[in-house]
Chains A and B, each alone.
Chain A
């Protein structure tokens, strides 16, 4: 116990030293805040590696803002989603909270006028240089909460995500397989892997949601970016029942029928499937970059990551986006301080800490830094993939944001499609019913 306390003490002292250095470089130390101010923050970074990043950032923020005390409350995302709606309407609710993106969460809160529009702060802190418009629109709504993707900015996201292909480097090397550069090459590779009696794509659809990524990753290679934006934000009256969406469904069904997915995938959960992949079963798996930190420890296998390659001659677009954003409660007594906190959570310093923890920051890494970020590894691969789509303006969307019930509909219809109960045409038609219903209700 005493030993532990000593370590803790040393850690605290070094942190204090570190943060006092930082105070020196922070441009505008808050002079006007001298009295004690408590800032209540809710976030969902509950995993130990994530939580450590936030703790360091919070302590550094306190050090550079004398008199400010941060009270942090950590919740898992499901719990946060359930409680934050009521909490933000209370006078003693969190000053700053992470709020899940999309219509059913952030949209509802905007509709109820519970979130502070951040446009002025965005100008003041020049957030436009931190995030592209495509990223900012993911946290934007019109003030009535009805139109997603435009209007006021209501949140800033510190982390980023990209959906792509994880591959087992050992299995690839043993069989002389190389990372494909076109979709055609990718499909040839799938056949080769299958012929070598290895599972090409480790997959389990029992939990449902990851089948959306499996399908939509292919869809993103067939449709235009305008289409995916319109579909997600519910503008320009697009339809889901299109030839491209049917083709994507057909490819997915072909893969399932050719045995490219784990045998019995319909009865395997997401985590089980990932554990098998981590243990060396299956040559590849298609999922988001959030899986990378888990693959970097506790396994003797070596993994890499690449974007699902585009059809030859067509641009590559990938599902991606930024993580759960921080928002400010409209009725907070300290809006300026809360905005400073948001600005700190998306600072180069934060980017650096996230990168060290193996997670993709939504912000660029500082050009010069004492902290060495290891990029000659799986994290480097995911960082490269994210930078590629960001640079090429090819960041797609999670299509389940499109309507409040799209997630349930997509999960159920994809299970039917993969279970052979429905055809690609049935699939796009059934999903379109949901989408058209939503559009007509929006129009009312």
Chain B
């Protein structure tokens, strides 16, 4: 991050950009052009084989506003933010302060085990949890039965009331390990002196957590918020592998709707419009969170 000192006077800075060309080309062809192409398709009534494309302007976007399926899918995504983002961050903070502050035997073992769900492919996670939630042979119901809570047993993934929380909690299970590791790394940076000083002043563990750990972890929490909220908004594989949006539309999410509309039902233009809206929402939310995080950091400085 230091200013460049070896540049001879008068030598052009532009030379540096040459080194960016290969990476930029990859970015251009595999990210920018597909995104622009998607945005362009969203203004067309575009069938599967592109022979009957007609320019329809904003029509796809206007029909989105009255499409109850899209609104339902999007509101499910908002519920997913609770499960994908808020719960994992709280859990991650809790576990990180348990594991990070006090050296316990087997620390590496616990950290690895708790991080494990994050490493497994989402489709595999889906398959595992479909089995976990199986109404008669799944461990979840068997466990409830074993502790005498038969009346809580459900056909989890098939229930209109429970399918969304069930799939959501699988998301929490996947995400919390990432948050925890992120916070653990952040906590190693916090000077032990803060804790010592506050102990001398008579602060207890809870106060230290709220007034030292959390403020010091602000940037990590920001990163965790951005990545997990993005994950919640673009969730596809988990729903695909567990419920395919059912029962009814109770677990339908925008990502799955895009796949269904554009790929399965050949309405490429409309699917592209849904995808564009989703991208805009994700981008603006990320920017907003970043803004909020930098502002509060600036205030402290």
Contact = CB atoms under 8 A, between A and B. Distances in A.
Contacts of B198: none
Contact of B244 (A114, A208, A272): A208
A416 B136 CA distance: 21
A89 B49 contact: yes
Given A208-B244, A411-B246, A416-B248, A85 B49 contact: yes
Contacts of B43: none
Given A206-B246, A421-B248, A267 B155 contact: yes
B260 A108 contact: no
Contact of B263 (A82, A265, A268): A82
Interface in A75-90: 82, 85, 89
A104 B134 CA distance: 33
A262 B50 CA distance: 45
A109 interface: yes
Interface in B124-144: 130, 133-136
Nearest to B159: A266
A374 to B, nearest CB: 34
A112 interface: yes
Interface string A385-405: 000000000000000000011
B165 interface: no
Interface in B90-131: 130
B247 A416 contact: yes
Contacts of B154: 264, 267
Given A419-B158, A419-B159, A268 B48 contact: no
Contacts of B47: 108, 111
A408 B49 contact: no
B48 A108 contact: yes
A205 interface: yes
A136 B246 CA distance: 35
A104 to B, nearest CB: 5
Interface string B228-241: 00000000000000
Given A104-B264, A267-B134, A268-B134, A419 B156 contact: no
> How many of chain A's residues touch chain B, expressed as a range?
20 to 34
Contacts of B156: 267
Interface in B193-248: 243-248
Contacts of B264: 104, 408
Contact of A206 (B243, B249, B266): B243
Given A108-B266, A206-B158, A408-B260, A114 B135 contact: no
B51 interface: yes
Given A404-B266, A412-B246, A421 B160 contact: yes
Contacts of B155: 264-268
Given A412-B246, A415-B246, A111 B158 contact: no
A268 B244 CA distance: 13
20 contacts: A82-B263, A104-B48, A108-B48, A109-B49, A111-B49, A113-B51, A114-B49, A206-B130, A207-B244, A263-B135, A264-B158, A266-B155, A266-B158, A267-B156, A267-B158, A268-B136, A269-B130, A405-B265, A408-B265, A419-B158
| Shortest 10 CB-CB contacts between residues of A and residues of B | A266-B158, A264-B135, A267-B155, A112-B49, A415-B247, A267-B158, A264-B155, A108-B48, A267-B135, A266-B155
Interface of B: 47-52, 130, 133-136, 154-160, 243-249, 260, 263-267
Given A405-B265, A415-B158, 20 more contacts: A82-B263, A108-B266, A111-B47, A114-B49, A205-B247, A206-B157, A206-B243, A263-B135, A264-B154, A265-B155, A266-B135, A266-B155, A266-B158, A267-B133, A268-B135, A269-B130, A404-B267, A413-B248, A416-B247, A419-B159
